[in-house]
Amino acid sequence: MQRNKAHLSDPNLVAQGRSFDNLMPLGSLAFMRPSYLAMSAWIEHIPFAFWLIQALRPNVFVELGSHWGVSYFAHCQAIERLSLDCKAFAVDSWDSDEHDGLSGEEIFKSVSHYNRDNYENISVILRSRFDDAAVFFAEKSIDLIHIYGLHSYDAAKDEFDRWKDKLSNRSVVLFHDTNVREQDFGVYKLFEELAERYPTFEFTHGHGLGVVGFGADQTPQLKSLFEAGQNDNARRDLNIQFSTLGGSCLNAYKNEKLEARLKPFSTMENELISLRHEVRHAVQEREQLSRGLQAKTALIESHGREIENTKALIFKISDKNKVLQSDLSKVMGERQVFSEENRRLFSELAAKSVVIRRNDDELASLRLRVSELVKEEATLRIELDELTADVAHYEALAERYQADAENYTLESGRANKLQAELEAAVSERDNEKGLRALLQHEKNEAERRLQSRFTEIAALTNLLKEKEGKD
């Protein structure tokens, strides 16, 4: 490519191979550490942005297409670092972009917040289309412009033509992607055309960055840069130097991302250390538990021996229980037999009790008739009532039936005595023979019934005795 050398300070020095070491002195701002990093193809040109601000010291800087703001905030950092009286403007619509993809509201807010927190005094975020924003700038007012919008030839040329009247006499124009020759990227064609008319320098790393000295009054440092672009060795050395510095910026960004990705692992490492302490503590506790377990094991073995002895005793008792169970089964069988016999006897006793109650009713009726017929024989009626009371007592106390039977003999003697007295009374009352005969008949009938009842009582008494004997 043939370059226009009319703007070079001294072409003869270039031909003689002058040294360009003064372009990168040790105090150069190019060695400054960037404060803002994000994923961008421009990240490798940040050191040159620092150098350019120091070399040009612009009053107005405009960037057309800031996106994530990597290039823009690099220039702002250098402006603030040098305390320049310079205003910076980031112009972008932050809409969809054909090449960079969606910018969107989130990117705009992120860039705006960072600008507000760091460069609010020197920087303005201008959300606008490029052609609309041009009206806000006076002619020949912009010292540095970075055209970083669409990357086709026509789009880049249109923006350059629209904004070139805004450029000052010492202005510099930056074009990114000058080293991209694919798809519809055409910035390199525009840069080649401009190189025929203006002094230029091109960095080939980071997708390429073209520097155009548009203004006629360039600073000495920029003149030296453009002169170095005409010298193969110098151009190569500067590319290596800035590529190396730019690579350090890229590595710094990668390191930040890597540290962010490794941060959870650092947390995990701390947790691992904590877990190791816990494991060590757990091992100590396990050893203590092991010693306690050994003691408890010995105790358990002692208890085991006692259990075995107890089991042997249980087996012996179990054998005895089997024998007792067999005996119990036999007793239960016999008890069943006795129970059936008891039920039968109680059934018979209940039947006899019914008969006795019936006889009691008849006896009460007879006693009433005797009382009515023989009132003067009150003594006999009282004795008969006592005998009836004794019979009732026999029914309530079945276990004393035998004693009641013996009392019956005594009562019979008393009855005989009464009979003798009655006979004496009857003999004295001859005029009442008919009445005595009737009374005698009733008395005999009552005694017959009593005798029958006592016979039944005696039979029941014997039956109960037999039962008690069996039990």
Q: Which two tokens stand for residue 317?
A: 């008792």
Q: Cα angle vertex 120, ends 114, 123, to 5°?
A: 95
Whether 281 shows a pLDDT value over 80: the answer reads no
The CATH number of the structural domain formed by 11-230 is 3.40.50.150
Q: Is the pTM of this model over 0.85?
A: no
- Which range among 102-106, 236-240, 370-374 shows the weakest confidence by mean pLDDT? 370-374
Q: How confident is the model at residue 28 (pLDDT cuts 50, 70, 90)?
A: confident
Per-residue pLDDT, 422: 66
Cα 399 to chain centroid distance, Å, stands at 80
Q: Give residue-wise pLDDT tens across range 295-327.
A: 777 777 777 777 777 777 777 777 777 777 777
Q: Express each pLDDT in 165-220 by its tens digit.
A: 999 999 999 999 999 998 889 999 999 999 999 999 999 999 999 999 999 999 99
Q: Where are the domains of the chain?
A: 11-230, 349-470
Convert 444-468 to b/e letters by CB count within 10 Å (16 or more is b): eebeeebeebbeebeebbeebeeee
Going by pLDDT thresholds of 50, 70 and 90, the confidence category of residue 39 is confident
The alpha helices in 374-432, defined as continuous H runs, are: 378-396, 401-428
Q: What is the model's pLDDT at position 8?
A: 41
Contact 145, 62 (CB under 8 A): yes
pLDDT at 147: 96
| pLDDT over 70 (residue 377) | no
Please state the rounded mean pLDDT for residues 49-69. Answer: 96
Which pLDDT does position 5 carry in this prediction? 40
**Is a pLDDT exceeding 50 seen at residue 17?**
no
What is the structure's pLDDT at 268?
61
pLDDT: which is higher, 418 or 150: 150
What is the C-alpha to C-alpha distance for residues 60 and 46, in angstroms, rounded to an integer? 19
- The larger pLDDT score, comparing residue 441 to residue 414, is at 441
Asked if residue 65 lies in contact with residue 156, where contact means CB atoms within 8 angstroms, the answer is no
**Which pair of tokens denotes residue 401?**
């039936």
